[in-house]
Structure 1
């Protein structure tokens, strides 16, 4: 079986971006082995723990971003109240890009495409009824 070990974000400021996702997903930071100090107070790596065994941890690593022609990997966030979640994430520094709706047979799905503070795309969708 293949599973996701972690989701890595290439970013300019690991601390700033990790702070956004730490608050957005209510996760905790995990201490990493000591790194050589750099010129700033911004570490080169920040790891956010998974809240359970089913979710991958998130790693924020100071790296140049890939080409805009690459297919991006992003997160799909499920929520009970999409509008409230989008508003909360905007308050934390995200931007709503567009809302989308797609029909699948007898049902329609809606979601909001967003960008985090560094422009990484992610979607917020309504949690499917169980």
Structure 2
């Protein structure tokens, strides 16, 4: 069985974007080993964030050209306890709300907010489903 090791973000400013996502997702910054960081730890072109509880994949922020934000076929969907409060918190960290959508799936309705991080990468925020 395959598993996801990390999710990589192509970005202009790895430090700035990693700082946003570290705060947004309560992640910890990890120094890369010398062999992975081009000979130096704390490489400004590569920043890794890890989940302190080791429940989700690492996030790697790498300085490199990226496709336009309209063409990116993948983005993060975040499940939160309170969508409105989380959207406000992400905005205070530098994200922007693009739109809020409501969609019906049979007898269930889901509402989510489409957002962009400080470099324009899209992500969505919805409330966690009750179990």
> Could you tell me the TM-score, scaled by structure 1's length?
0.89
Pair 1:61-2:62 in alignment: yes
What SS is found at the alignment partner of 1:111? Answer: strand
Paired residues, what number? 127
User: Residue 126 of structure 1 aligns with which residue?
Assistant: 127
CA contact (8 A) 1:11 1:63 kept: yes
Superposition CA RMSD, Å: 1.9
CA contact (8 A) 2:69 2:120 kept: no
What SS is found at the alignment partner of 1:15? Answer: helix
CA 19–69 in structure 1, closer or farther in 2 if over 3 Å, else same: closer
What SS is found at the alignment partner of 2:120? Answer: coil
Q: Distance in 1 between matches of 2:129 and 2:120?
A: 27
Q: Distance in 1 between matches of 2:94 and 2:71?
A: 25
User: Residue 52 of structure 1 aligns with which residue?
Assistant: 53
What SS is found at the alignment partner of 1:66? Answer: coil
CA 90–45 in structure 1, closer or farther in 2 if over 3 Å, else same: same
Range moving further from structure 2, 45-54 or 1-10: 45-54
What SS is found at the alignment partner of 1:46? Answer: strand
User: Residue 8 of structure 1 aligns with which residue?
Assistant: 8
Structure 2: stretches of 5+ with no match in the other structure: none
Q: Distance in 1 between matches of 2:69 and 2:125?
A: 22
Runs of 4+ in 1 over 2 A off after TM superposition: 33-37, 50-54, 67-72
